[in-house]
Amino acid sequence: MSAMWQRFTERARRVIFYAQEEAGRLGENYVSTEHLLLGLVREPDSVAARILERMGVSLSRVRSEIERQVSRGEGRLGQETQLTPRAKRVIDLAYDEARQLNNNYIGTDWTGTVDLGNTDDGVDVDSGATNNQLLDNLISGNNSDGIDLGGRTAPNIETNELNMPHITEWHEFQVDSGGAGKFRGGLGVRYSIRFYDEAPFLAVFGDGVENPPFGLYGGHPGTCNRLLVNEGTPTEEVLPAKGMRQLKKGDTYTVYSSGGGGWGDPRERDRAAVLDDVRNGYVSREAAEKVYGVVIRDT
């Protein structure tokens, strides 16, 4: 590790030293992933610690939860403290993560991301943070915006399917959902998922199923939210905005999210913009002609 040690930032080196101290305090002659995490939360100005706080994860809770889960050893003072294979793997993975973004150093951002994001290799403090969330915050930076990884406010389908017992059947923009106007409202989306768990339980806590987003200055309202179980089948059920349902294996849950309200008279919308909307599948030909007054013919 001596060559890799040269690539550690000063703050990352302090975290390693803190981890050794934490291991000794807990009576251990080795440093494992839980000790690395304890060392990390002792460095409150580190990128990883700030990310956790931004995500609502208390550093004091991380510490207390780790100490609750780990047992105290009977290590002897003066013995050399070694890294466990898991702790070594965390550092190796941190180095790999840094190289993927062309960084030639290892800081508390990468050690913290790997240590927290790969809970199978250490203590799971049930912080609610996933590796995608950590990376999203990490790349965006502290208290700022940056590269958008996607998958936070609308988690990517593959990650969701890995974490939850369902299959996404479709997920797409909803045609004609944005309120018509000189400036069209943003589109809603529609998606449907099928559960393969034996006894899925659905809890819905939303709004907007009765009153759509309104338009302004002649703009039309957007569409309302709509929630359904087993759409298009004899057992179809339209759900209220709030409630709970016990479902069965194979049931589907379908959501039509509301579109934004339009601004201004739709007849004043640029004709080229209407044409682009139709080509992109945002507005139907029927709506283009009836609402926007733009007739589109095949050529």
In this prediction, residue 109 carries a pLDDT of 47
In this prediction, residue 155 carries a pLDDT of 61
In this prediction, residue 45 carries a pLDDT of 72
- Does 185 score more than 60 pLDDT? yes
Whole-model pTM: value is 0.51
Residues 6+ away with beta carbon under 8 Å from 271 = 294
In this prediction, residue 75 carries a pLDDT of 58
In this prediction, residue 250 carries a pLDDT of 93
In this prediction, residue 270 carries a pLDDT of 94
In this prediction, residue 47 carries a pLDDT of 67
212, two tokens: 């759509």
Spatial CA neighbour of 138 closest among 51, 39, 56, 46: 51
Domain positions in the chain: 5-112, 157-292
* pLDDT (average), residues 62-75: 72
Task: Compute CA distances 34 → 18, 37, 49, 66, 134, whole Å.
Answer: 12, 5, 15, 7, 18
Most confident of 41-50, 243-252, 262-271: 262-271
Residue scoring higher pLDDT (106 or 160): 160
- Does 92 score more than 80 pLDDT? no
Is the distance from CB of 36 to CB of 14 less than 8 angstroms?
no
Residues 6+ away with beta carbon under 8 Å from 204 = 227, 239, 240, 241, 242, 243, 244, 245
Q: Which fold has domain 5-112?
A: Double Clp-N motif (1.10.1780)
* pLDDT (average), residues 136-162: 54
* pLDDT (average), residues 114-127: 41
3-state secondary structure 224-274: CCEEEECCCCCCCEECCCEEEEECCCCCEEEEECCCCCCECCHHHCCHHHH
Report the residue count for the chain: 299
- Does 214 score more than 50 pLDDT? yes
Note the Cα 291 to chain centre separation in Å. 37
Backbone angles phi, psi at 79, to 5 degrees: -75, 145
In this prediction, residue 263 carries a pLDDT of 96
In this prediction, residue 253 carries a pLDDT of 94
- Does 170 score more than 80 pLDDT? yes
* pLDDT (average), residues 161-187: 91
145, two tokens: 């915006």
- Does 150 score more than 60 pLDDT? no
Is the distance from CB of 261 to CB of 222 less than 8 angstroms?
yes
Is the distance from CB of 257 to CB of 251 less than 8 angstroms?
no
Task: Compute CA distances 286 → 40, 115, 256, 280, 290, whole Å.
Answer: 59, 54, 20, 14, 6
For the chain, give the percent of residues with pLDDT over 90: 36
